[in-house]
């Protein structure tokens, strides 16, 4: 992780049930990867978000969709995907219904 401060746009286009997170915000973070962003900023918004990002065993959740500049992190380096200033991170929570 670097100490450089980056400006990242964080977008939650669809809210998660019981989570009070701003829909879109531009944040200043010293994060280097998606995992750093989650640990240093997102979980501070609401600790209940942890269940969406991590499985019960602490592994990165396979059902959460995270995009960096419209590219799915699964097509990049997963939660180890590097971030740079100006990136847009979009988080889509899993939904079920019928």
Domains of the chain: 6-92 (3.10.20.30)
Distance (Å, whole) CA 78 – CA 71: 11
Find out whether 96 and 15 touch, Cβ atoms under 8 Å: no
What average pLDDT does the segment 14-18 reach?
72
Q: What does the pLDDT look like over 50-96, one tens digit per residue?
A: 888 888 898 998 888 999 999 999 999 999 999 999 999 999 887 75
């Amino acid at each position: 992780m670097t100490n450089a401060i980056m400006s990242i746009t964080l977008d939650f286009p669809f809210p998660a049930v019981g989570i009070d997170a701003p829909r879109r915000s531009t944040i200043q973070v010293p994060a280097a990867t998606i995992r750093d962003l989650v640990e240093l900023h997102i979980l501070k918004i609401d600790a209940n978000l942890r269940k969406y990002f991590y499985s019960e065993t602490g592994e990165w959740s396979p059902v959460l969709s995270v995009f960096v500049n419209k590219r799915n992190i699964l097509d990049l380096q997963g939660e180890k995907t590097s971030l740079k200033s100006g990136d847009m991170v979009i988080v889509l929570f899993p939904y079920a219904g019928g």
